[in-house]
Amino acid sequence: MLLSVFLGQGTQIFIMTFITLFLACLGFLSPANRGALMTCAVVLWVLLGTPAGYVSARLYKTFGGEKWKTNVLLTALLCPGIVFADFFLMNLILWVEGSSAAIPFGTLVAILAMWFGISVPLTFIGAYFGFKKPAIEQPVRTNQIPRQIPEQSFFTKPIPGIVMGGILPFGCIFIQLFFILNSIWSHQMYYMFGFLFLVFIILLITCSEATILLCYFHLCAEDYHWWWRSFLTSGFTAVYLFIYAVHYFFSKLQIIGAASTILYFGYTMIMVLIFFLFTGTIGFFACFWFVNKIYSVVKVD
């Protein structure tokens, strides 16, 4: 249930990021206009409720899930709800501090209206089409009785595999991350959207490859639990992202005071959550495609 919900959300985030970066690449979103990028991202995110609902519903049906109402509601409300709650708390702190960065109440209401008025109905529509479609066909029939999993070596156990899986994708976004954090927290302009788009593509490829490789290893070791593992393997990049953000906080920023610290980590948590869903989804779909591919070629008696 949770997996299909996360994947729906992740698809939504993926398409949003792709289009936003693509537009920024072509020069539609000027870095001089501070809010352009965020506005574009939020509007796209609201409009892309349909693919989220569709993917989530279709996968849930493939897993043989029955509670489709819960599935749709969770897809529409779970992750945006967490992000919004976090955002609202940050805003409360800003209000209390009397900061000019606080978002006026009207804007919050407008965002809520966009979320419930546009995004949620679109998710419902997507889910409706997702459930009307037949479940995704598996290339081979699975055995009714689950097999005994043999003793695993250290590298094919779940935890080390997941921890290793996050290193490669993180390595390729590491330098860009420094510049992005600078542009958020140290008021430096960020101009290299073309380069960022390239790094984004590389991130996609690395996530997919790392996940597929690790998945292949543990399938060879006869461990067939790949659903959650493929999601978490590439999703673990987000944990490295968080560790890096903490390092950045202590080494680069001179932030004193509880409010500022809470703000920094609050916004970092939003970034990490979004990134987790995003990378996890890429890893999962790469793996899903790979497993389908190898098993559709296998000759089964």
Q: Which helix (H) or strand (E) holds 8?
A: helix 2-26
- Distances from the Cα of 15 to the Cα of 18, 182, 250, angstroms: 5, 25, 33
What band does 191 get if pLDDT is binned at 50, 70 and 90?
Answer: confident
The fraction of the chain above a pLDDT of 70, given in percent, is 97
Across the range 126-137, mean pLDDT stands at: 85
pLDDT of residue 221: 84
* pLDDT tens for each residue of 2-21: 888 899 999 999 999 999 99
Instruction: State the chain's mean pLDDT as an integer.
Output: 86
Under 8 Å between Cβ of 131 and 57: yes
Higher pLDDT, 219 or 141: 219
Instruction: Over range 201-209, report the average pLDDT.
Output: 93
71-85, 139-153, 249-263: which range is least confident on average? Answer: 139-153
Predicted confidence at residue 300, as pLDDT, reads 65
Beta carbons of 169 and 234 less than 8 angstroms apart: yes
Q: How far apart are the first and last CA of the chain?
A: 32
Q: pTM here? A: 0.87
d(CA 7, CA 187) in angstroms, rounded, equals 34
pLDDT at 229: 87
